[in-house]
Structure 1
Amino acid sequence: MKIFSGDEVRRTVPMAAAVDAVREAFGELRAGNFVLPARQVFGDGAVLVMSAYHPPSRTAVVKKIGIALDQVPAIRATVIWTGAGEQIVADGTSITTLRTGAVVGVATDLLAAADATRLTVIGTGAQSADQVRAVLAVRRIAEVTLVGRDAGKAAALAGSLGEEFPEVRFASGTDIDAGIADAEVVCCATSSSTPLFRADALPARVHVNAIGAFRPTMRELSRDLLATASLVVVDQEEAALEESGEVIDAVEAGVLSRASLLDLGDALAAPPITSGRTLFKSVGVGPQDWAIAKLLSES
């Protein structure tokens, strides 16, 4: 058995490798090469259990997640990966933030303007740094703005990431509308239950990623944004319609049709022509964890 701490996960799997692995996993998902049992939810979302089995390689991953939004860190998880004659137990918190960043990297590479240089991240929690790392892995970003309710926390995160990426200019603040006014890529990584901004606060051409809301009662994106976006991509339609508050709300209100939702795997297989405001909404699926655990197994 191999055991990986959070630091060992980070040292073993750089973000660029994670993006590539997650991209390949969504290709496998589209091809029907995963068995995905329904996510188990306990205690009104306080405990989640996700799993995925990959028949071609006869490997499987199981992740147990404990969520307490009033604690730091808010997410505590453990990942178990099994293959032929081997087993891995790894810190699931680091894998979760890494694979969530990685899928945003995949979507941003597919949907954002090729020459995008300005990124805004809303939220300064545990997921935020990997959102920045992922977008920087796929675009030549020159300016990053970090927006959070706590000015000191946002400034501290900007300072830390500035040391990691000295070639990038970092700024921070608390005004969301000001932060997104000229952004070319926006990442939402909050636990908000109400939309963070209206569509008209965004530039006419922008790509928005939303990864924070994972319950039907949570919202990061406004109904008017989903109604007017030129393209709405989700990690998996079935998962989005069960867990994404924004998508569920927009579909039930009749401003977004199920038929207009595009699975990420399908979008990767036939890249769409992008224009205007594009959206990627992720609630997370098992193949993402499998992809990172597979890299650990090969180390």
Structure 2
Amino acid sequence: MHFLKDKEIQEVYKIHHAIEDVRLVLNDHRNDELVEANRIVLPASASSSMLYMPCISTKQKVSIIKTVSIFPENADLPTTQGNILVSNLEDGRHIASMEASYLTRLRTGAMTAIATDKLARKNSTVLGVIGTGRMAFEQVLGVLEVRDIKKIILFNRTRSKAEKFKEDLEAFGVESGIEVADDVNRVVTGSDILNCATQSKTPVFDGSELKKGTHINGVGSFTPEMIEMDMETIRRAEQIYLDDMDGAMEEAGEIIKAVEEGVISWDDIKGTLADIFDKGFLRHSEDEITLYKCVGAGYFDLAVANGVMKIKNLK
């Protein structure tokens, strides 16, 4: 069995690889060539969670199960840590065990890229980021792959974390101008695209402050109790797309709450990534607000894990 650490994977597998591999697995999903189960989320404490995500691709003849620990109070360790076990469906061999913290962030960034490409205004130049934990980094990279971003505005409740995030982006080679804001409304009112990546149980910004034409990527919350976007944001969104319908109906706290309160119905959801990844531009006007909500699913992890196997030529 091969054992791959995050650093080894990061050296060879980048955001553009992940975008292409996510598109491949979305095609498998559309063609009913996946066998999957809903993600299992178990509380480990009041603030931490354990996640288990299995998936099989009958087309690619590969199986994965991902285990993720989410411990937001970690100071010296990553808040999100994961492992993916990859198995060969030709003979049942367990081929590889790979660290999955980077891959989890990367596949989510790839998904954000696909949604942003279809929904954000083509002339978008300002990206706002609310929440600067590790999950947020690859979301920025995803947006940079599909839009010519000139300025990035960062906000975190702890300013020093946003400052460190700025330094990390600059060290990575991001050339956009980067500003750290003290007021979340500065981010909301000044952004063409807004990435929200928190695990908050209460809304982290005021949806009434969103300017016309904003596209929002909500990628932080992943349980019914987590609600990082308010009901005004959901109400104002003229197009709402999800990464995975089954997962969202179980785990997308904001969308579940909006349906329960009659703000929207499930029929108002326009579709999922599998419906739009190979479609044309979906925005109807420069002024409409669009929203992409992500909770994750095992087949996205299969996409990047198998992508690493191919690029490393592991069998």
Shorter-chain-normalised TM-score: which range?
A: over 0.9
| Bigger mean CA deviation after superposition, 186-195 or 40-49 | 40-49
- Secondary structure at the aligned position of 2:277 is classed as helix
1:263 aligned residue: 272
What do residues 224-270 of structure 1 show as CA deviations (whole Å, max 9, x unaligned)?
11122110000111110100110100011111111121112112354
2:260 aligned residue: 252
For the pair 1:59 / 2:62, whether they are aligned, the reply is yes
2:21 aligned residue: 21
2:84 aligned residue: 79
For 2:208 and 2:20, locate their aligned partners in 1 and report how far apart those are by CA, in whole Å: 33
What do residues 38-80 of structure 1 show as CA deviations (whole Å, max 9, x unaligned)?
2223236722110110111221111011222222422221101
For 1:225 and 1:215, locate their aligned partners in 2 and report how far apart those are by CA, in whole Å: 18
For 2:137 and 2:216, locate their aligned partners in 1 and report how far apart those are by CA, in whole Å: 16
Q: Percent identity?
A: 29
Find runs of 4+ consecutive structure 1 residues off by over 6 angstroms. none
Under a length normalisation based on structure 2, what TM-score does the superposition of the two structures give? 0.90
For 2:299 and 2:154, locate their aligned partners in 1 and report how far apart those are by CA, in whole Å: 29
Deviation at 1:174, TM superposition (A): 2.9
Q: 2:59 corresponds to which letter in structure 1?
A: P
2:146 aligned residue: 138
Q: 2:103 corresponds to which letter in structure 1?
A: I
| Bigger mean CA deviation after superposition, 83-92 or 254-263 | 83-92
The CA RMSD measured in Å over matched residues stands at 1.6
2:216 aligned residue: 208
Deviation at 1:117, TM superposition (A): 1.1
For 1:172 and 1:157, locate their aligned partners in 2 and report how far apart those are by CA, in whole Å: 9
Deviation at 1:206, TM superposition (A): 0.9
- Secondary structure at the aligned position of 1:35 is classed as strand
1:6 aligned residue: 6
2:181 aligned residue: 173
- Secondary structure at the aligned position of 1:64 is classed as strand
Gaps of 5+ in 2: none
Gap change, CA 1:166 and 1:75, over 3 Å in 2: closer
What do residues 95-144 of structure 1 show as CA deviations (whole Å, max 9, x unaligned)?
11111111111111111111211101111111111111111111111111
Gaps of 5+ in 1: none
1:163 aligned residue: 171
Equivalent of 1:70 in 61, 73, 98: 73
